[in-house]
Structure 1
Amino acid sequence: MMQIKNITKSYIFILILTYFFSLYSIAEAQYLRDKTNYINLYNYYPTDFEITEHYNNYKTYSLTYNNIFGIPEVEVKFKNNSYPLHFDFGNSNNIIITSELQNLVEYNFIDTSFTYHPDGSIRDKVLEIMIPYFNVFDKDYYNEESALVDWNTFSTNPFNGLIGLKYLTDKSFTLNNESKQLIISSESIAEKLDSNKTVIIDLLNFAYHPYGIHFVGEINNKKRIFYFDTGKSHTALNRDLFPNEKILTDKSGSFYDGKVNISFGKINFDIEYPRVKSLKRKIENNYEMGIEIGIDILKYFLISVDRTNNKNIMIIHIDE
């Protein structure tokens, strides 16, 4: 009799374990975003490579990543204190601070205005402000026009603000996510590189996005506009490129039920079940917007940008 009871208890225990394991499995795969998979993306980061060997008169700045998205942060000094701001390739304007710094940073109110989506449509109301002083990349700025926005205008989690590529005009720089460094120089890096270990891409100029990283790549062998954005946590393709019946949506976003090939220069990889969204942008080009590549993919590349002497090129460093 005792043996039967023990067997029964063991059976019940196994049933309970099975039940909770099934709940865990459901929880693990409860969002469509969990199905996204990158293929052949991890082969490009160079090994045994020291980027500073290719720079003259450079400065190195430490980056932090104290946010859930893995977005690089740059320390910005204000009049009374310093705070990390997201280093955002997608910020087309001046420095932006959020409501997190509203009572911590000195500023003067100018007017009420709006912030805009990339396509030019209104995103949210903002305060136009002037910041009497800040320092970034060892350069002082005085009476710089800025904007104060609620942090949830751009994010699902609080953050301090954004600083973009406007403050690296006429510079060459390298974003090294692996070593958590930003290397900046006033001299060109392009002439000092081995062409066998680089992918050099001409960047596009758009009036509405003067500092952005836009270029022509291919999606499924068709030329499209690519956009690199370190301020985005998730890569997304243009929803308009895919049939509606192949788009699935849940709380985590919309996704294409299929696989796409991404290529630019020597870079070639696939994305299974990619995120999709509207990528309408205020740009002047014959090609459609194809993909907005966020930090989830950019972290796998060592990227330099050279905008010295009227250049406008991006360099991706790779192994031979």
Structure 2
Amino acid sequence: MRIKKYPIILLLGLIILGVFVISMNFKDKIVDNSWISELGYTDDQIHSLTFNFKGDRGCPEIPVALNNKEYRLLFDTGCGSGIALTNVVEDSLDYELIGKVQQLNRDGSHRGWSKQVLLKELKIFGESYKNIETAIVDWQMSSSKEFSGLVGLEYFIGRIITLDYTGYQMGIRGNPIDYSSLNKKEYIILPLHKSTEESQKNLLFFEAKYKGELVIVYLDTGKNHSFLYNPNSTFAMGGNVPNLRNINIEVGDLELELSEIGEVHDIAQAQGLPYKTMIELNSDQIWKSNLLVTFDLIEGNIILSKR
């Protein structure tokens, strides 16, 4: 009795082909977690990230407990004041009203007025802070979409923070990085430059090359559109910026093509920096460039890696 081999072989071939197609479709969704051990994190130092938008313009959110109730606040490296809340969550907060305060844009111009309040306690990743003065602002003052509030780097001084947008996770710890163990071809290490302005001392500035010239890049995870400084532009950040373009920059040995950058005339020039701030690099470019970003707030470095 003959066994019909060909149908069986054909069936096996179709199964193998199907497995291959499925693996190709999902290969981009496989999370590369090698950075966790390479940067010296342990599993208990890894936390999940959520984002306020889906797709490549989402800004990261982290859990913050206010008077024992948890909220998801934007993790905003452009927030120099530490923490700010919005009227979205105002009715659910237990606070003491102190007065009112003027809100300023990064260039020092007037943005609006907000309530100044006192919170009894807030907790961020297990760290507790008491009697916190902060502001409750109208969310429409700085966003086109409702958000609960934001928290900046003031609460992360002396920490290492890694943002893995693709993997929807974040590393945070207090012990230093062992730089001798890092692959310098994979991880680009640059010093963070400090502004001498008090309101900008905790913001992130690093150097890059644009058109062969050294410039300063300002990194702000709390925005989802990136900008190029052009003093002759007629467009500002807060309005419609139609003239989008692609530009190339060199960050150490890493070459990045930044797409859909808006040219504006109002990128603030912080005092005390060695070069002109030409680029505001925000969450959209972290997504599009598939960057793993680490802020070493112990030794004052930024570490970039393409995943």
Aligned residue for 1:186?
174
Paired amino acid for 1:109:
L
- TM-score, normalised relative to structure 1: 0.77
Matching residue within 275, 288, 294 for 1:304: 294
Aligned residue for 2:228?
237
The CA distance in 1 between the partners of 2:249 and 2:267, in whole Å, is 16
Paired amino acid for 1:225:
I
Aligned residue for 1:202?
191
The CA distance in 1 between the partners of 2:166 and 2:246, in whole Å, is 28
Structure 1 residue 261: Cα displacement: 2.4
> Any conservation in 2 of the 1:55–1:187 contact (CA below 8 Å)?
no
Partner deviation per Cα, 1:142-187 (whole Å, 9 max, x = no partner) = 1011111000111011100001111111011211111111111111
Aligned residue for 1:55?
40
Aligned residue for 1:148?
136
Aligned partner of residue 166 in structure 1, secondary structure: helix
Structure 1 residue 77: Cα displacement: 1.1
Confirm whether residue 226 of structure 1 aligns to residue 217 of structure 2.
yes
Confirm whether residue 72 of structure 1 aligns to residue 57 of structure 2.
no
Distance 1:47 1:177, change over 3 A: closer
Distance 1:214 1:190, change over 3 A: farther
Distance 1:59 1:47, change over 3 A: closer
Structure 1 residue 253: Cα displacement: 2.1
The CA distance in 1 between the partners of 2:31 and 2:67, in whole Å, is 41
The CA distance in 2 between the partners of 1:259 and 1:66, in whole Å, is 25
Stretch of structure 1 that moved more, 210-219 or 153-162: 210-219
The CA distance in 2 between the partners of 1:225 and 1:189, in whole Å, is 24
Confirm whether residue 211 of structure 1 aligns to residue 199 of structure 2.
no
Partner deviation per Cα, 1:35-84 (whole Å, 9 max, x = no partner) = xxxxxxxxxxx985512213255612211114354111001112252110
Distance 1:286 1:51, change over 3 A: closer
The CA distance in 2 between the partners of 1:190 and 1:290, in whole Å, is 32
Alignment root-mean-square deviation, CA = 2.4
Distance 1:294 1:56, change over 3 A: closer
Aligned residue for 1:262?
249
> Any conservation in 2 of the 1:176–1:182 contact (CA below 8 Å)?
yes
Aligned partner of residue 51 in structure 1, secondary structure: helix
The CA distance in 1 between the partners of 2:90 and 2:149, in whole Å, is 10
Structure 1 residue 96: Cα displacement: 0.5
The structure, 1 or 2, with the larger RCO (C-alpha pairs under 8 Å, 6+ apart) is: 1
1:43-192 → structure 2 map (5 Å cutoff): 48-53=32-37, 54-56=39-41, 59-67=45-53, 69-191=57-179, 192=181
> Any conservation in 2 of the 1:89–1:230 contact (CA below 8 Å)?
yes
The CA distance in 2 between the partners of 1:270 and 1:55, in whole Å, is 29
Paired amino acid for 2:207:
V
Distance 1:252 1:230, change over 3 A: same
Paired amino acid for 1:152:
Q
> Any conservation in 1 of the 2:164–2:292 contact (CA below 8 Å)?
yes
> Any conservation in 2 of the 1:62–1:182 contact (CA below 8 Å)?
yes
Where structure 2 has 5 or more consecutive residues not aligned to the other structure, the ranges are: 1-29
Structure 1 residue 99: Cα displacement: 0.5
